[in-house]
Amino acid sequence: MEWLLVPFEVSFVQRALVAGVLVSVVCAIVGTWVVLRGMAFIGDAMSHGMLPGVAIASLTGVNLLIGAAVSAGVMALGVTALGRSRRLSEDTTIGLLFVGMLASGVIIVSHSRSFAVDLTGFLFGDVLAVGSADLVGLVITLAVVAVVALLGHRSFTALTFDIRKAHTLGLRPRLANAVLLALVTLTIVASFRVVGTLLVFGLLIAPAAAALFWSRRITTIMFVAALLGVAATVGGLLVSWHWGTAAGATIAAGAVLVFFLSAFLSFARQRFRSLTLETERSR
């Protein structure tokens, strides 16, 4: 039992745990809508699209979160503006913006050799270096996400399952889509400090996708996704402590492992039910 408790007696691991729990809950709320709406690609593009802003902020001495927010905002506005074109599909516009922003970031980084360490932190995060200010920022982010998700629940649901009905009910699906995109942006910007842009995508998608195997109610999916994200955080920190692995990457890997475990258990459950029904019919 000692191996389970000792790591969390250290102050920086305690802060990492709190940060991981907060990120897990935020990602569960937003990630549920991302998975249900099939927005995984845009989530990935948004996470990578922050690179130019972070690179410029690092080179100029500005707070990285400000650079990330500006860059992600440009990406979101670009997706919204180009998405109105009937000649281009949404995935085409997202792909073009994704490549353009990522290429711009790499070009900026290539002019600064001293940016290598900052780039590593940007890509993979440093959950063990989270401070009190980061925790306050995550608490504020969670509060904003929770309030917006609660107020926009009806609009998001109609947008996800029946956009025509959303128009009929006057729920303004375009506005709802823009707000949802803003939530994705906020979540990624707030979370990249903990697990990095390459890995935040795992916590955003994997727990929510895993929860779909166990429920069809949106609120229940969010709750289960949050629990799975917290489990991945605790497990990731334990493995990182005892095996000396990168904490952020281990947490993200744990989230993906939870997804595949859920998929396997769901398949096994369905298979068992099928065999049981066949047995009863044969009698």
**In the chain, where are the structural domains located?**
1-281
Tens digit of each residue's pLDDT (9 = 90 or more) over 202-245? 889 999 999 999 998 999 999 999 999 999 999 999 999 999 88
What's the burial of 66, exposed, middle or buried (CB within 10 Å: 0-12/13-18/19+)?
middle
Rank 50-54, 126-130, 132-136, 270-274 by mean pLDDT and report only the highest: 132-136
Global confidence as pTM: 0.86
Show Cβ contacts of residue 250 under 8 Å, excluding neighbours closer than 6 positions.
236, 237, 239, 240
Average pLDDT over residues 146-163: 88
Amino acid 123: pLDDT? 66
According to DSSP, residue 127 is labeled G
- Give, as one character, the DSSP assignment of residue 246: -
Distance, in Å, from the CA atom of 238 to the CA atom of 227, rounded to the nearest integer, reads: 17
Closest CA to 32 of 257, 205, 278, 203: 205
pLDDT reported for residue 93: 78
- pLDDT for the residue numbered 21: 94
Q: What is the pLDDT of residue 260?
A: 95
User: pLDDT, tens digit, for every residue of 162-198?
Assistant: 777 777 767 777 888 888 988 988 898 888 777 777 6
Any idea what the Cα angle at residue 163 is, between residues 162 and 166, rounded to 5°? 95
CATH class of 1-281: mainly alpha
If pLDDT is split at 50, 70 and 90, which confidence band does 38 have? confident
Task: Give the confidence band of 35 by pLDDT, cuts at 50, 70, 90.
Answer: very high
